[in-house]
Structure 1
Amino acid sequence: MPGSEYRVPSGRKPVSRFEELLVWQKSKVLCVSVYRVTNSGPFAKDFGLRSQIQRASVSVMSNIAEGFDRNSRAEFARFLAIARGSAGEVRSQLYLAQELGYIDSTTARAVLRDCNEITSMLIGLRKTLGA
Structure 2
Amino acid sequence: MSGKRFEEMEVWQMAQDIAFSVYSDFKEVRDYGFCDQIKRAAVSVSNNVAEGAERQTPADFARFLDIAKGSCGEVRSMYYLAVKLGFVEPSIAELRCAHCESISKQLAGFAKYLRK
**TM interval, short-chain normalised:** over 0.9
Helix, strand or coil for the counterpart of 2:56?
coil
Alignment partners' CA distance in 1, 2:70 and 2:97: 14
Among candidates 33, 37, 53, match of residue 21 of structure 2 = 33
- 3-state SS in 1 of match to 2:55: coil
Number of the residue aligned with 1:50: 35
Point out where structure 2 has 5 or more consecutive residues left out of the alignment.
none
Q: Which residue of 2 aligns with 1:11?
A: none
- Residue in structure 2 matched with residue 89 of structure 1 by the alignment: 74
Letter in structure 2 aligned against 1:29 = D
Partner of 2:101, secondary structure, is: helix
SS at match of 1:106: helix
Give the match for residue 102 of structure 2.
117
C-alpha distance after superposition, 1:78-112 (max 9, x if no partner): 00000011011101111000111110011101101
How far off its partner does 1:130 sit?
Answer: 1.8
Q: State the alpha-carbon separation in 1 of the partners of residues 93 and 66 from structure 2.
A: 24
Q: Tell me the residue number matched to 1:9.
A: none
More helix by share: 2
Alignment of 1:69 with 2:69, yes or no, is: no
Structure 1 segments (4+ residues) deviating >2 Å: none
Alignment: residue pair count: 116
Matching residue of 2:6: 18
Structure-1-length-normalised TM-score: 0.85
Q: TM-score, normalised by structure 2?
A: 0.96
Mapped to 1, the partners of 2:21 and 2:56 lie a distance apart of 30
Offset, 1:71 = 2.3
Which residue of the partner structure matches residue 113 of structure 2? 128
Which of these two proteins has the greater Rg computed from alpha carbons?
1
Residue 10 of structure 1 is matched in structure 2 by: none
Structure 1 residues without counterparts, runs of 5 or longer: 7-14
